[in-house]
Amino acid sequence: MPTNIIQPGTGLQGPAGSAGAAGPAGADGTAGPTGQAGGAVTSATETELATVNPTTVATTTPAAAGTFLVGCRVRVVTAATVVTAHITYTDATGAQTSTWLNLDPLGIGSYDLAPVVIASAAGQAISVVVTAGTANQVYASAAIWGTASSPLEIVTSSIVGGQQLVPVGPGGSGLKIVSGGFGVLFDGFTAQLVTPYNVQVTAGSVMFWANPLTDSTANPSVIWTANNGAYDAALLPGGPISPQTQQATVSGSISDTVNFNTLTASWHLWVITFTAATLNLYRDGALVASQSGLSGAPTGAGAQMTFGFGVNGVGGGTGGIQAALAHCAFWDTTVLTPTEVAAIYANASSMTESAYESYIVGLAPTLYYPMQENTGTVATNKGTTGATNNANYGGNYILGMPGPIGGQPTLQTSPPAPTGGIVITSGTAYQNTAPYDVFLRIPVTYNPLSGAAATLDVGVGPTATPAQAVEDSQPAASTAGVIRTKDLYLPAGWYALVTATNATLGLASSQPV
């Protein structure tokens, strides 16, 4: 996998900054200059690449020259394919192309591409262009942030899906993208996630992350139901989550130790495991309720399994949950162990969204809905039964809510000072040995020859041999001695591999993030 693919997140967006107030009066009694307005900001929700031709995913034309941060995300849906992704822009020396992917093979999954800092001329388009090797297999989204000042100074704004663009360092001149996953908000009345899966279950496991809102429904509500309500996770108004089974001889019914609506404004994980003889409930990785001695076959017939709404076997009737949900999964016949349940919870705080999805997929659930969609009505099933069990969102729901996966950073209140005089040797990996992320700024002197271009190949990754791509160049026989800077975001412990051809690398500087 290309190592310039980093942490997950999707549909980055944020408003342009507003002009600052006039400065205070100077010594001569005149007012100071007005603060500078935020620059061009644009974002694009997911675009399906319906052809194998290059597709412009996001574009903007800045009114003033400045420094811009460009990000992109691609998602491969049902089969591996090759993907090319690059930025086209114009700087003071002419048209440029910065490449993330160049016919790179990508498997099924979501990929965030390392943000790139560029310097753009005024009145010239900045565009993110993505090409897929197979039509209708890739979705792409992108964002462009910027300002007409330098170094890059971008005002933070909340970003869909728990992502934030966080300014750090002296004067906010550094940036850090914090990436989390998504969730889907259910209104408690009509919203639901309906799966095609209608097998009569007798043993297995179910998991879901939920962020409760105050439960205002008058009727009992349901987070999960199977067997036409004979098996469910019910919720009485103001009460706890109560899994239950209806069986021919001895049925089961247990409850959480805390009321659901007392856990508002935070995400929690619930896991239910059951056999014909036992019923267990876990919250946040720990067992909170258990019952044994059950017996007999389930009394309910097979019916479509639902999340967020369904038939309520405990209180009767139907009802919906008023909460945000994410990462709903079901294992038919597989009973998760206490160790597996604890790990499912613990890994949420240490993994990125894509890594967490891969981890759950590795546990081979029959159904698995990460619920990371930003548009549409279909929830992709990443379980073993595949696309035939893609589910549908119904009723009143909101996609793209901040989700449970991916933590927020601990920002340094007094970050270390920038470091200069760093020697970067062409073709030799440089490691960020600091315990914090940095922006690495490398001056590059381009000396193209007649018949030979000057190029800069760059790779960033967790190993000393990251895959490289051409990120900057000067055409053959163009002006020698052109000096430009290359800015790299380098996480703690990661490596940068920079190879200059017909170019020399100057002493770099490091800005803590």
Q: Looking at 367-433, which runs of residues are DSSP E strands?
A: 367-369, 378-379, 391-394, 397-402, 419-422, 430-431
- Measured CA to CA, the distance from residue 11 to residue 31 in angstroms comes to 41
Rounded to the nearest 5 degrees, what angle is found at the Cα of 464, between the Cα atoms of 460 and 468? 40
Q: Quick one: pLDDT at residue 414? A: 42
Mean pLDDT of 478-492: 83
Q: Which residue is it, tokens 């049925």? A: 251
The DSSP output letter for 228 is G
Q: Quick one: pLDDT at residue 295? A: 93
Share of the chain above pLDDT 90, in %: 28
Q: Quick one: pLDDT at residue 238? A: 74
Mean pLDDT of 145-161: 37
- Measured CA to CA, the distance from residue 407 to residue 435 in angstroms comes to 17
Every domain range in the chain assigned CATH 2.60.120.200: 184-402
Q: What is the dihedral of CA 150, 151, 155, 159, to 10 degrees?
A: 110
Q: Give the pLDDT confidence of 92-111 residue by residue, as tens digits.
A: 888 888 888 888 888 887 78
Q: Give the pLDDT confidence of 454-481 residue by residue, as tens digits.
A: 999 988 888 898 888 887 888 888 888 8
Greatest mean pLDDT range, 53-62, 177-186, 312-321, 357-366: 357-366
Distances (CA, A) of 164 to 10, 59, 183, 249, 405: 11, 21, 16, 53, 14
Tokens of 502: 């017909």
Lowest mean pLDDT among 174-188, 233-247, 344-358, 378-392: 174-188
Q: 416-513 adopts what CATH topology?
A: Hemagglutinin (Ha1 Chain); Chain: A; domain 1 (3.90.209)
The DSSP output letter for 262 is G
Distances (CA, A) of 340 to 146, 176, 181, 366: 44, 32, 21, 16
Dmax of the chain from CA atoms? 92
- Helix/strand/coil for 349: helix
Tokens of 303: 């019916």
Residue of 83, 54, 165 lying closest to 117 (CA atoms)? 165
pTM: 0.50
**Residues 404-438 as b or e (16 or more Cβ within 10 Å = b):** bbbeeeeeeeebeebeeeeebeeeebbebeeebbb
CATH architecture of the region 184-402? Sandwich (2.60)
Residue 406 in this model has a pLDDT that exceeds 50: yes
- Measured CA to CA, the distance from residue 252 to residue 290 in angstroms comes to 9
Residue 430 in this model has a pLDDT that exceeds 90: yes
Residue 128 in this model has a pLDDT that exceeds 80: yes
Distances (CA, A) of 247 to 15, 76, 407: 55, 42, 41
How many Cα atoms sit within 13 Å of 185 on the Cβ side? 10
CB 161 within 8 A of CB 402: yes
Every domain range in the chain assigned CATH 3.90.209.20: 416-513
Residues 6+ apart with CB under 8 A from 479: 93
Tokens of 438: 């940095």
Mean pLDDT, rounded, of the chain: 78
β-strand 81-91 against 221-226: which pairing, if any?
unpaired
Q: Give the pLDDT confidence of 239-263 residue by residue, as tens digits.
A: 888 898 888 899 999 999 998 878 8
Q: Quick one: pLDDT at residue 318? A: 61
CB 252 within 8 A of CB 279: yes
CATH architecture of the region 1-17+35-156? Sandwich (2.60)
Tokens of 356: 């967490």
Q: Quick one: pLDDT at residue 208? A: 96
pLDDT band of residue 3 (cuts 50, 70, 90) is: very low
Edge-to-edge strand list for the sheet holding 109-120: 5-6, 109-120, 66-76, 138-147, 42-48
- Measured CA to CA, the distance from residue 352 to residue 334 in angstroms comes to 26
Q: Quick one: pLDDT at residue 182? A: 76
Mean pLDDT of 316-341: 87
